[in-house]
Each structure stands twice: as structure tokens, then as C-alpha cells.
Amino acid sequence: MPDERLLQRDHRIRLAVFKWLDEQVALHGEVLPWKLIAEGLSIDGERVPLVSQQGIFKPRVLPELPLSIRTSAKGPYDDHFGADGDTLLYAYRGTDPKHPDNVRLRNAMAQQVPLIYFHGVVPGKYLAVWPVYVVGDDPGALMFSVVADQPHLGRDDVESSGIAAVRYDDSADLRRRYTTTQVRQRLHQQGFRERVLAAYREQCAMCRLRHPELLEAAHIIPDTEPGGDPIVPNGLSLCRLHHGAFDRFLIAIRPDYTVEVRRSILDETDGPMLRHGLQGLHNERIWTPRSNDLKPDRDLLERRYERFHSTS
């Protein structure tokens, strides 16, 4: 049986870390920089980093069990989602099932302790997912099975006096697998956003706004349609205003990278936002990535431009 005093300390530290992550995501968005999570927070006067160079990480202040697992954007391990997309297959550290890190993660599975999963969407930036739980162990494949759960349930687990306060039954399994599928979709969306914003050097292609917290990755062809792949040539870095206007066909981009504003918008009389934010873009060229391989695909822009005229 775990020592009750150490168990309470573990729970208190995890709760503090989860609350800190809530605050950081509110400030920075879902994708957090490496420097922030490697620095971590201070608890009882001691620094608590959330990650290290090791994928399975236990900070010194925790008595026994890991705090987080991590997948690098270009890491050496074959972490991936299963065929159904509802389970993360997380690779052992090395090839020895008895490596201390693998043993710790196995113990976390036995005790159903909530962990944090950091997924590298681009080098140096990580999507933080918590709580996640190890639910399977395959020594033959050198893989753990991991699922995510709803955030408030993870906090309930930590705030309780015992381990695995939420009973793990069929309904919990279905909920966790559904949540994990949603996490997979978030990873794809955030990966697309980060790649597009990096290509455009974190500025709006239309107005040059340089505040990443106000920038979004717009699809030229929606991802629900053929050709709507989450790749940079099918993307545009746009501020929220111009993303909304682009999606609703108030503005378009011709295949020669020139902005065209809908005639009805040009004929309107309104305040300075309309004049400078939309009307002033008419016949202006957008800013594009330096690499030709990353510039907007002209054929995709042509398809979008034809739709713009059919809806104007």
C-alpha cells in the first residue's frame, strides 16, 4: 500500500500543477513554449519543471510516480494513435521493460494516477493535454496505451483522498476514448496552425498584424472537402477579422495573390474599421512565405475564387 503521507503530497503537487496549466493555457493558448513548461512553477519554494529531455518525467519533488509524458515533434520514438484514433500508443523508454522510467509509468497505470501529455506540434512548442491515464502495457511491442479524460474529472481525482476516485467502468472507458479522439483532432488542428503561422513569420497575410494570439490558420479549401489537406500551401495566416471575412466570402484572394473585396462591401459607408480593415485591402497583394513550396497553391486559390464569385 502507498504511504498515505506521500500520497497526499503527490496529490497536492499534481493539483497545483494542473491549476498552473489552466492559467498558462488561458494566457498563451493551448500550445505552450518549451521554455515555459521546462521552467515550470514554484511549489513550497522549490521549482517544479513539467518536462525534461526524458520523455517520461518525474520532478524531484514527487515521491515516486511520473508527472508527464512527452512526444517531440521530431523525436526518436514511434508514438502514435491507434487505428481507431481513440488511444495513444506511447513508446517505452529504450528497449528494457524494467528501465526505471518504464517501471514508474507502469506503477502510474496500476494506481490510475492522472498525468500530463505534452505533444510537440512544431519544434519547441507543445500542446498540453491533461489528465491522461496509462491504461495498457505491451512489453512485446514496447508500448503503453494512454487515453485522455475530461479535465474536471482529473482534478476531482487529485482532490480526493484516495487514488482512482472515479470508478473506471465501461462508461468511463467510452468517455475517455471519445475524449482521446477529440485530442487527436486538436493535435492536427494545432499542428496546422503552428506550421502556417511559422511559414508566415507570425503575421497576418493581409494586414501584417504580428500578435500570434490574434492569428489563425485559415484553410483555402475547407478540410471537409477534397483537396482540403492540412498543409501550408492550403493555408493562410490571417487575423481573426480577416479570417472571418475570408470564410464568409466578404473578401477573396485571386490566384495572383491580390485581394478582392466584394462589391457590396466596397459600396458600404461605415466607420474606420470598414474603410481600413476591409475596403482598404482591395487590389492589395497579400504577404506570402519566402519559400515557393510554402506559398498558397494557385490552383486552390482559383477554386476558392470561383466560389467567391458564385456567392457574391
Q: What is the pLDDT of residues 12-43, one digit of tens each?
A: 999 999 999 999 999 988 899 999 999 999 99
Contact 36, 21 (CB under 8 A): no
Split at pLDDT 50, 70, 90, the class of 61 is very high
Query: Quick one: pLDDT at residue 162?
Result: 43
Contact 33, 124 (CB under 8 A): yes
Distance between CA atoms of residues 68 and 90, nearest Å: 12
- Map residue 233 onto helix, strand or coil: helix
Q: Where are the domains of the chain?
A: 4-188, 200-311
Q: Cell 498525468 appears where?
A: 115
Query: Quick one: pLDDT at residue 25?
Result: 94
CATH number of this structure's domain 4-188, picked from the four choices 1.10.1740, 1.20.950, 1.10.150, 2.30.280: 2.30.280
Q: What is the pLDDT of residues 219-232, one digit of tens each?
A: 999 988 988 999 99
In percent, the amount of the chain with pLDDT more than 90 equals 69
Q: Which distant-in-sequence residues (6+ apart) come within 8 Å of 138 by Cβ?
A: 144, 145
What are the two backbone dihedrals, phi and then psi, of residue 131, each rounded to the nearest 5 degrees? Answer: -85, 150
User: Quick check: 273 pLDDT over 60?
Assistant: yes
The mean pLDDT of 191-218, rounded to a whole number, is 95
**Bridge partners of residue 261, in order along the sequence:** 251
pTM of the model: 0.79
Strands, DSSP E only, in 207-308? 215-219, 235-239, 251-253, 259-261
- Which residue did the predictor score with more confidence, 59 or 2? 59
Contact 68, 129 (CB under 8 A): no
Query: Quick one: pLDDT at residue 204?
Result: 98
Which grid cell sits at 308? 467567391
- Alpha carbon separation from 221 to 64, 225, 281 (Å, rounded): 49, 7, 21
Query: Quick one: pLDDT at residue 312?
Result: 67
- Which residue did the predictor score with more confidence, 1 or 112? 112
Contact 125, 28 (CB under 8 A): no
Instruction: Please provide the average confidence, as pLDDT, over all residues in the chain.
Output: 90
Q: Cell 519533488 appears where?
A: 61
Query: Quick one: pLDDT at residue 150?
Result: 85
What is the C-alpha radius of gyration for the chain, rounded to an integer number of angstroms?
Answer: 23
- Map residue 141 onto helix, strand or coil: coil
Query: Quick one: pLDDT at residue 76?
Result: 58
Split at pLDDT 50, 70, 90, the class of 2 is low
Q: Which of 31, 56, 36 is nearest to 48 (CA)?
A: 36
Query: Quick one: pLDDT at residue 63?
Result: 86
Q: What is the pLDDT of residues 134-186, one digit of tens each?
A: 999 999 999 999 999 987 655 555 555 444 444 456 678 888 888 888 888 88
